[in-house]
Amino acid sequence: MMKRFMPAILALSFALPASALAAGDQAHPESRNWSWNGIFGTYDRAQLQRGLEIFTGQCINCHGLKFIHFRDLIQIGLSEDQAEALAEQFEVAGDPDEWGDPTTRPAKLFDRFPDPYRNEEEARALNNGAVPPDLSLMAKARPDGSNYIASLLSDAEYNEGNPTDDGLYHNAYFPGGLIAMAPPLYEGLGVNADGSDASIDEMSDDIAAFLTWTAEPRLEDRKGMGLKVILFLLVLTGLLYVSKRKIWANV
């Protein structure tokens, strides 16, 4: 064990030149005008559902979403029947049968999105050595996550889809500039609210919005409560200040 960690530990130790730690060059994500920005921000349910559509149509083939239960999708405006119908398209492990053999069954509302691979080894073997990360928390696990996801997916050079000899793709927003994932979005994959084909930019936004929701599903509760709490505190603090002035008036 110790031997395995030693190089990392040494690299971390400040005694060594720390330049080895510096991450590769990476472009700053472009800022988008998200519906949840600002004090009154909320998610756009239609956008989240479009994102879900693209996610289940494409991303799910390689990426997990393990912190999301199918029941959670009711929060973004799916009816219980719709969420149930979506769940049934996935097979999950069931109880052992009477002979003790493993079984599978269609997923139900209380199940989470199943991982696309049986284990990390399979994921690695099928993806040229790179393990596709679980996306549940991606929007919070990268600096400026929502913009990062949208910028990465819509990068123009990336979407030309010319791999290097190693099978990697140029992407200015990915740390190091080379990403193993082939450009996943193409015209015709997703549709806009009016039914027209969505552009890659539009799909990138919808996916980023959906993944922001999966990372922070309580955002609307939080912002809604914050407004009430702060208004209350402003009044309370005002009263406390006036009381303080009055009590101290003769000191």
Partner 1 sequence: MESLLNIGIVRWFDNRLPLLSYTQHHMMDYPAPRNLNYAWNFGSLAGLALVIQIVTGIVLAMHYTPHTEMAFDSVERIMRDVNYGWLIRYIHSNGASFFFIVVYLHVFRGLYYGSYKAPREVLWWIGLVILLCMMGTAFMGYVLPWGQMSFWGATVITNLFSAIPLIGTPIVEWLWGGFSVDNPTLNRFYALHYLLPFVIVGLVVLHLWALHHKKSNNPLGIDYKGPQDFIPFHPYYTIKDAFGVGVFLIVFAAFLFYAPNYMGHPDNYIPADPLKTPAHIVPEWYFLPFYAILRAIPDKLGGVIAMGLSIGILFLLPWLDTSRVRSATFRPVFKWFYLLMLIDMGILGYVGSQPAEGDWIWIGQLATAYYFIHFLVLLPLIGWFERPRPLPDSIAKPVLAAGPVPGVGAAHDKA
CB of 126 to partner 1, least distance (A): 20
Tell me: does residue 240 bind partner 1 (CB under 8 A): yes
Helix or strand run (H / E) with residue 230: helix 219-248
CB of 191 to partner 1, least distance (A): 29
Tell me: does residue 18 bind partner 1 (CB under 8 A): yes
Subset of residues 174 to 233 that bind partner 1, contact rule: CB under 8 A:
175, 215, 217-218, 221-223, 225-227, 229-230, 233
Q: Do 43 and 36 form a contact (C-beta atoms < 8 A)? A: yes
C-alpha to C-alpha distance for 136 and 216, rounded to whole angstroms = 9
Tell me: does residue 237 bind partner 1 (CB under 8 A): yes
Backbone dihedral angles phi then psi of residue 169, each to the nearest 5 degrees: -120, 140
CB of 6 to partner 1, least distance (A): 10
C-alpha to C-alpha distance for 214 and 139, rounded to whole angstroms = 8
Subset of residues 28 to 47 that bind partner 1, contact rule: CB under 8 A:
39
As a whole number of angstroms, the longest Cα–Cα distance in the chain is 87
Candidate residues 72, 202, 205, 206; the one interacting with partner 1 per rule CB under 8 A: 72
- Residue count of the chain, please give it: 251
* Closer by beta carbon to partner 1, 99 or else 248: 248
Candidate residues 116, 145, 184, 190; the one interacting with partner 1 per rule CB under 8 A: 145
Candidate residues 89, 96, 140, 161; the one interacting with partner 1 per rule CB under 8 A: 140
The Cα angle at residue 159 between residues 154 and 163, in degrees rounded to 5: 135
Q: In the block, which residue shows the tokens 């239609």?
A: 46
How is residue 118 written in tokens?
Answer: 């049986």
Tell me: does residue 67 bind partner 1 (CB under 8 A): yes
Tell me: does residue 14 bind partner 1 (CB under 8 A): yes
Any idea what DSSP says for residue 191? B
Q: Which of 113, 139, 120, 176 is nearest to 36 (CA)?
A: 139
The window from 9-17, 51-59, 79-87, 188-196 that contacts partner 1 (CB under 8 A) reads 9-17
Number of residues binding to partner 1, judged by CB under 8 A: 52
Q: In the block, which residue shows the tokens 């793709």?
A: 169
Q: Do 44 and 32 form a contact (C-beta atoms < 8 A)? A: no
* Closer by beta carbon to partner 1, 136 or else 202: 136
Any idea what DSSP says for residue 28? P
Task: Summarize as ranges the residues that interact with partner 1 (CB under 8 A).
Answer: 1-2, 4-5, 8-9, 11-15, 17-19, 21-23, 39, 67, 72, 133, 136-137, 140-143, 145, 175, 215, 217-218, 221-223, 225-227, 229-230, 233-234, 236-237, 240-241, 243-244, 247-248, 250-251
